[in-house]
Amino acid sequence: MDMQAPLADRMRPVSLSEFVGQEHLVGEGKILQTIIGQDIIPSMIFWGPPGSGKTTLARIIAKETSSEFVQISAVLSGVSDIREIVKRAKETRKMFGHKRTILFIDEIHRFNKAQQDSLLPHVEDGTLILIGATTENPSFEVIGALLSRTRVFVLTAIEPSDIAVIITSALKDTKRGFGKQRIKITNDQIIKIAEFSNGDARTALNLLETVVQIAPVRKARRVTKTLKRVQGDEVFITDEMLREAMQKSTLLYDKTGEEHYNTISAFIKSMRASAPDAAVYYLARMVEAGEDPLFIARRMVVFASEDIGMAQPTALVVANEVFRACETIGYPECAINLAHGVVYLSTAKKNRAAYDALRSAQDDVKRFGNLPIPLHLRNAPTKLMKDIGYGKGYEAYPEKGKSLLPEKLKGRRYYAGT
């Protein structure tokens, strides 16, 4: 094992027993486990998001069926590469009897029609067992003739709980992971990494590797069960280092601009508090300081939707017109337009229901990632998609209160109304 290779590559499962996630395909008695067990491998296409295990499953299938495995990328390969692979596959079959060659094509959706056509005769006569991987809908990206000769398996984003298992495995594995190091990491931190990865195991392992590399190290002494003293390095994962690795740390403003941001803050908070006198005063300070009128107007446009929202929807119209006036007129006269808008926004009724609904929904998106959209809400322009269940049971006008959210969020309320 090359320990210089990325952690995600080192920890790639080499058997179905190691594979985590995609239970609907590889679980006990499920389709992929069954066909591997029976050693009957059809050509297939794995359709799923990045990091869901498409490449890993292809390698496992090849290993557990003792097949020759050839991997190419559709971005870097062409018809000439396919010809060479076909030639070698025929030689392998001639030399070793009926030994199969599995051709794995990553990003198969990037192959054009001619390149896909070149695969057809070799897939049809069994020279190649094709496994294509794609993040795009194969109904649109794979030609019909090739699609009809393959089975499509849909992979889903890996659940955070499964990714947490993968992370824990990497921390414990002494041959491929960090098992020989003493990594001090909390369960909460593991969960944060799992949720941040958005269903992508590769992202999770890359993030874990990064945070281990930048985390502080200190010499530690501990007592084993046999009471022998053991000295070694301990790597402490701190929340600060985790945030840095996620590149989520908040950037600080330049201190020379502190008064600038203090003033715009007071300006916004005065309008929010329905205090037109204070809002106009802070507007005047910015105007006299030569603040860009478009900067002020942009903040007013945001304020119109964020703080007034559905209580007075015309506020957005007024704020946009103030912005337009500042664009066309400029200083000094556009200061009057700004004052007009500030008084209007300050005295308008306030309601943050739409803003709060957005933020609440965004929190769930960050927490749960791209949850599967209910099948009955999906568009189904192709037969394959209809067969999978897309659009089945769709109602244009469902009964009031019926949830159209993903299964995990059924019953969730974001918009509280005015």
Measured CA to CA, the distance from residue 5 to residue 382 in angstroms comes to: 41
In the three-class reduction of DSSP (H, G, I as helix; E, B as strand; rest coil), residue 403 is classed as: coil
Copy the structure tokens of residue 116. Answer: 């896909």
| pTM, 2 dp | 0.65
Confidence band for 165, pLDDT divided at 50, 70 and 90: very high
> Residue 398 pLDDT more than 80?
yes
Q: Is it the case that residue 36 has pLDDT exceeding 80?
A: yes
Q: Evaluate whether 269 touches 312 at the Cβ level (below 8 Å).
A: no
What whole-number distance in Å separates Cα of residue 288 and Cα of residue 282? Answer: 10
Q: Give the chain's domains with CATH numbers.
A: 22-154 (3.40.50.300), 160-246 (1.10.8.60), 255-347 (1.20.272.10), 353-409 (no CATH)
Taking a C-beta distance cutoff of 8 angstroms, is the pair 70, 133 a contact?
no
C-beta separation of 51 from 200 below 8 A: yes
Under the banding of pLDDT at 50, 70 and 90, the label for residue 129 is very high
**Is the per-residue pLDDT at 248 higher than 60?**
no
Q: What is the pLDDT of residues 288-324, one digit of tens each?
A: 888 889 999 999 999 999 999 999 999 999 999 999 9
pLDDT at residue 386 above 60?
A: yes
Strands 229-236 and 129-134: what pairing? unpaired
pLDDT tens for 208-225 read 998 888 877 665 555 444
Q: How many CA atoms lie within 13 A of 269 on its CB side?
A: 6
CA distance 55 to 40: 19
**Residue whose C-alpha is closest to residue 191's, from 159, 217, 157:** 159
How far apart CA 265 and CA 287 sit, in angstroms, is 15
Predicted pLDDT of residue 401: 77
What are the φ and ψ backbone dihedral angles of 46, each rounded to 5 degrees? -95, 120
Integer Cα distance of 341 and 338 in angstroms: 5
β pairing state of 101-106 and 44-47: unpaired
pLDDT value, residue 230: 40
